[in-house]
Amino acid sequence: MSLDNLSIALLIAPRGTEESEFVEPKKALEQAGANVTVIGLESGTAETNNNDLDPGGRYSVDKCFAEVSADRFDGLVIPGGSVGADKLRGSQEAVAFVRAFFDAGKPVGAICHAPWLLVEAGVLSGRTVTSFPTVRTDIENAGGKWVDEEVTVDEGLVTSRKPDDLPAFCEKLIEEFAEGRHLPRGAKT
């Protein structure tokens, strides 16, 4: 499946994003032909980690939230990592950026602890999602239905539980991004 000429936003926290959940989707999307822009809270570089404890790599941040608009992108990927996801959900700019994708019906992928950002954006009501198990109560309190599955797709929202689920997550991301927009919730056909 080809994503030629699609522009995808990939979020990263200054520190604490799970390395594999950042690297693997980026690689899969680029191999499918997408143009991936790394967006963070700060310019320069960001440091990932492995299993929330061990240092990962350093990656360039292409743009900060203040420099971009969701209108410029065809889809969004939010990697997990409990520290990174928590930092991102604490940013009003990041939360507004994420909400704009849902308002426009654009596909979004979130893995592991990344649904915390979806909770903060108020976009989970009535949606079926999965995540790292410790995020379950937050999702349910936000009106979402939590399931324990390798990958779940709900109207353009692709979610997975953990790094072991990355092959299925990346495959479904590419499918949903190729499919394109979904009607925003509540929109009339």
What is the reported pLDDT for 188?
47
What is the reported pLDDT for 180?
86
Q: Is 189 a domain residue?
A: no
What is the reported pLDDT for 186?
54
Tokens read off for 27: 């690689």
Low-confidence ranges of the chain (pLDDT < 70): 1, 183-189
What is the reported pLDDT for 13?
95
* Dist CA 132 CA 90 (whole Å): 19
Which amino acids are annotated catalytic? 112-113
What is the reported pLDDT for 2?
80
What is the reported pLDDT for 185?
56
The 3-state DSSP class for residue 57 equals strand
What is the reported pLDDT for 95?
98
C-alpha distance from residue 39 to each of 7, 57, 71, 74, 158 (Å): 12, 16, 14, 14, 19
Q: Is 149 a domain residue?
A: yes
| CATH number of 144's domain | 3.40.50.880
Q: Is 183 a domain residue?
A: no
Q: Which domain holds residue 40?
A: 7-178
Alpha-carbon 69 to chain mean position: 16
Strand intervals (E) in 91-150: 108-111, 128-129, 145-146
What is the reported pLDDT for 104?
95
The number of distinct structural domains making up the chain is: 1
